[in-house]
Amino acid sequence: MRCDVVNHASVDALAAAVRDLGPLYGLVNNAALANGVGGKEFQDIDIEVWDRLMTVNARSPWLVSKALYPLFAAPGRIVNIASDAALYGSERLAHYIASKGAVIALTRAMARELGDRGITVNAVAPGLTECEATETVPAERHGLYRVNRAISRPQQPDDLTGIVSFLLGEESRYLTGQVIAVNGGFTMN
Protein backbone atom coordinates (compact mmCIF):
# COMPACT_ATOMS: atom_id res chain seq x y z
CA MET A 1 0.00 0.00 0.00
CA ARG A 2 1.29 3.45 -0.85
CA CYS A 3 1.60 5.82 2.08
CA ASP A 4 2.74 9.42 2.36
CA VAL A 5 4.46 9.15 5.73
CA VAL A 6 4.31 12.89 6.36
CA ASN A 7 0.56 13.08 5.79
CA HIS A 8 -1.50 12.24 8.87
CA ALA A 9 -4.54 11.08 6.83
CA SER A 10 -2.39 8.81 4.68
CA VAL A 11 -0.76 7.28 7.75
CA ASP A 12 -4.18 6.77 9.34
CA ALA A 13 -5.33 4.99 6.17
CA LEU A 14 -2.28 2.73 6.42
CA ALA A 15 -3.15 1.96 10.04
CA ALA A 16 -6.74 1.12 9.07
CA ALA A 17 -5.51 -1.29 6.37
CA VAL A 18 -3.07 -2.96 8.78
CA ARG A 19 -5.81 -3.23 11.43
CA ASP A 20 -7.89 -5.25 8.98
CA LEU A 21 -5.01 -7.71 8.47
CA GLY A 22 -4.63 -8.60 12.13
CA PRO A 23 -2.00 -7.90 14.76
CA LEU A 24 1.30 -6.25 13.87
CA TYR A 25 4.59 -7.79 14.97
CA GLY A 26 7.19 -5.65 13.23
CA LEU A 27 7.69 -2.19 11.76
CA VAL A 28 10.67 -0.76 9.88
CA ASN A 29 10.63 3.02 9.62
CA ASN A 30 12.74 3.37 6.48
CA ALA A 31 11.29 6.38 4.65
CA ALA A 32 13.82 9.18 4.40
CA LEU A 33 15.00 12.04 2.30
CA ALA A 34 18.71 12.11 1.46
CA ASN A 35 18.99 13.09 -2.18
CA GLY A 36 20.06 16.64 -2.81
CA VAL A 37 21.63 17.04 0.63
CA GLY A 38 25.21 17.98 1.28
CA GLY A 39 27.42 20.74 0.04
CA LYS A 40 26.04 23.64 2.10
CA GLU A 41 27.29 24.75 5.47
CA PHE A 42 24.69 24.98 8.24
CA GLN A 43 24.20 28.73 7.92
CA ASP A 44 23.49 28.45 4.17
CA ILE A 45 20.74 25.82 4.37
CA ASP A 46 17.34 27.17 3.35
CA ILE A 47 14.65 27.02 6.04
CA GLU A 48 12.30 25.18 3.66
CA VAL A 49 14.93 22.51 2.96
CA TRP A 50 15.66 22.15 6.70
CA ASP A 51 11.96 21.80 7.52
CA ARG A 52 11.33 19.27 4.73
CA LEU A 53 14.19 17.02 5.88
CA MET A 54 13.07 17.21 9.51
CA THR A 55 9.49 16.42 8.52
CA VAL A 56 10.34 13.40 6.37
CA ASN A 57 13.28 12.02 8.35
CA ALA A 58 12.37 12.81 11.97
CA ARG A 59 8.63 13.33 12.17
CA SER A 60 7.51 10.44 9.98
CA PRO A 61 8.96 7.61 12.14
CA TRP A 62 7.15 9.10 15.11
CA LEU A 63 3.91 9.58 13.17
CA VAL A 64 3.89 6.06 11.70
CA SER A 65 4.87 4.45 15.02
CA LYS A 66 2.18 6.43 16.83
CA ALA A 67 -0.50 5.30 14.38
CA LEU A 68 0.57 1.65 14.31
CA TYR A 69 1.49 1.18 17.97
CA PRO A 70 -2.06 0.23 19.06
CA LEU A 71 -2.01 -2.63 16.52
CA PHE A 72 1.08 -4.33 17.96
CA ALA A 73 0.94 -7.74 19.54
CA ALA A 74 3.67 -8.60 22.03
CA PRO A 75 6.37 -9.39 21.30
CA GLY A 76 6.74 -6.59 18.80
CA ARG A 77 9.70 -5.00 17.09
CA ILE A 78 10.28 -1.51 15.74
CA VAL A 79 13.41 -0.74 13.73
CA ASN A 80 14.16 2.86 12.84
CA ILE A 81 16.67 3.62 10.10
CA ALA A 82 19.03 6.39 11.20
CA SER A 83 22.42 7.19 9.64
CA ASP A 84 26.04 6.93 10.66
CA ALA A 85 26.33 10.59 9.61
CA ALA A 86 24.67 11.43 12.94
CA LEU A 87 27.40 9.45 14.71
CA TYR A 88 30.29 10.83 12.66
CA GLY A 89 29.22 14.47 12.42
CA SER A 90 29.92 15.04 8.74
CA GLU A 91 30.31 18.65 7.70
CA ARG A 92 27.89 20.29 5.25
CA LEU A 93 25.07 17.96 6.31
CA ALA A 94 23.72 19.72 9.41
CA HIS A 95 20.05 19.31 8.48
CA TYR A 96 20.43 15.64 7.57
CA ILE A 97 22.49 14.89 10.68
CA ALA A 98 20.00 16.71 12.91
CA SER A 99 17.12 14.72 11.43
CA LYS A 100 18.89 11.38 11.85
CA GLY A 101 20.08 12.35 15.33
CA ALA A 102 16.42 12.92 16.16
CA VAL A 103 15.66 9.38 14.94
CA ILE A 104 18.29 8.05 17.36
CA ALA A 105 16.83 10.03 20.26
CA LEU A 106 13.29 8.94 19.34
CA THR A 107 14.45 5.32 19.26
CA ARG A 108 15.79 5.55 22.80
CA ALA A 109 12.70 7.32 24.14
CA MET A 110 10.34 4.80 22.54
CA ALA A 111 12.45 1.88 23.83
CA ARG A 112 12.03 3.14 27.40
CA GLU A 113 8.30 3.60 26.98
CA LEU A 114 7.53 0.35 25.15
CA GLY A 115 9.94 -2.14 26.76
CA ASP A 116 7.61 -3.38 29.48
CA ARG A 117 4.84 -3.66 26.89
CA GLY A 118 6.83 -6.31 25.04
CA ILE A 119 7.96 -4.08 22.18
CA THR A 120 11.63 -3.47 21.44
CA VAL A 121 12.80 -0.40 19.54
CA ASN A 122 16.23 -0.21 17.93
CA ALA A 123 17.93 1.80 15.20
CA VAL A 124 20.23 0.84 12.37
CA ALA A 125 22.69 3.53 11.26
CA PRO A 126 23.85 2.70 7.73
CA GLY A 127 26.87 4.25 6.13
CA LEU A 128 26.90 5.76 2.66
CA THR A 129 25.05 3.07 0.75
CA GLU A 130 25.11 2.82 -3.04
CA CYS A 131 21.54 3.41 -4.14
CA GLU A 132 19.45 5.89 -6.11
CA ALA A 133 19.31 8.34 -3.20
CA THR A 134 23.11 8.61 -2.98
CA GLU A 135 23.84 9.01 -6.69
CA THR A 136 24.00 12.79 -6.21
CA VAL A 137 26.28 12.64 -3.17
CA PRO A 138 29.55 14.38 -4.05
CA ALA A 139 32.45 12.14 -5.09
CA GLU A 140 34.57 13.50 -2.23
CA ARG A 141 32.13 12.07 0.33
CA HIS A 142 32.17 8.66 -1.39
CA GLY A 143 35.97 8.89 -1.25
CA LEU A 144 35.90 9.73 2.46
CA TYR A 145 33.98 6.52 3.14
CA ARG A 146 36.14 4.44 0.81
CA VAL A 147 39.37 5.56 2.52
CA ASN A 148 38.08 5.35 6.11
CA ARG A 149 36.07 2.11 6.13
CA ALA A 150 37.68 -0.96 7.65
CA ILE A 151 35.95 -2.86 4.82
CA SER A 152 36.76 -0.67 1.84
CA ARG A 153 34.25 -1.99 -0.70
CA PRO A 154 31.16 0.13 -1.35
CA GLN A 155 28.17 -0.52 0.92
CA GLN A 156 25.17 -2.13 -0.76
CA PRO A 157 21.52 -2.17 0.38
CA ASP A 158 21.79 -5.93 1.00
CA ASP A 159 24.41 -5.22 3.67
CA LEU A 160 21.55 -3.99 5.88
CA THR A 161 19.01 -6.77 5.49
CA GLY A 162 20.68 -9.19 7.91
CA ILE A 163 20.77 -6.80 10.86
CA VAL A 164 17.23 -5.57 10.21
CA SER A 165 15.99 -9.17 10.03
CA PHE A 166 17.80 -9.94 13.29
CA LEU A 167 16.24 -6.94 15.02
CA LEU A 168 12.79 -8.01 13.84
CA GLY A 169 13.31 -11.58 15.09
CA GLU A 170 12.99 -13.45 18.35
CA GLU A 171 16.79 -13.57 18.80
CA SER A 172 16.78 -9.83 19.60
CA ARG A 173 14.11 -10.04 22.31
CA TYR A 174 16.36 -8.52 25.01
CA LEU A 175 17.94 -5.85 22.83
CA THR A 176 16.29 -2.43 22.86
CA GLY A 177 17.24 1.23 22.64
CA GLN A 178 20.38 0.45 20.68
CA VAL A 179 21.91 2.08 17.62
CA ILE A 180 23.81 -0.35 15.44
CA ALA A 181 26.15 1.20 12.89
CA VAL A 182 26.35 -0.88 9.71
CA ASN A 183 29.02 0.89 7.71
CA GLY A 184 31.99 -1.40 7.18
CA GLY A 185 33.76 0.06 10.20
CA PHE A 186 33.60 3.72 9.14
CA THR A 187 32.53 4.58 12.69
CA MET A 188 33.33 2.31 15.61
CA ASN A 189 31.97 2.51 19.16
Catalytic residues: 96
CA–CA gap between residue 188 and residue 115 (Å, rounded) = 26
Distance, in Å, from the CA atom of 118 to the CA atom of 106, rounded to the nearest integer, reads 18
Three-state SS at 125: strand
Instruction: DSSP for 145-157, please give it.
Output: HHHH-SS-SPB-T
For residues 186 and 164, give the distance between their C-alpha atoms in angstroms, rounded to a whole number: 19
CA distance 49 to 127: 22
Q: How far apart are CA 114 and CA 19, in angstroms?
A: 19
- How would DSSP label each residue in 52-97? HHIIIIIIHHHHHHHHHGGGEEEEEEEEEE--THHHHT-TT-HHHH
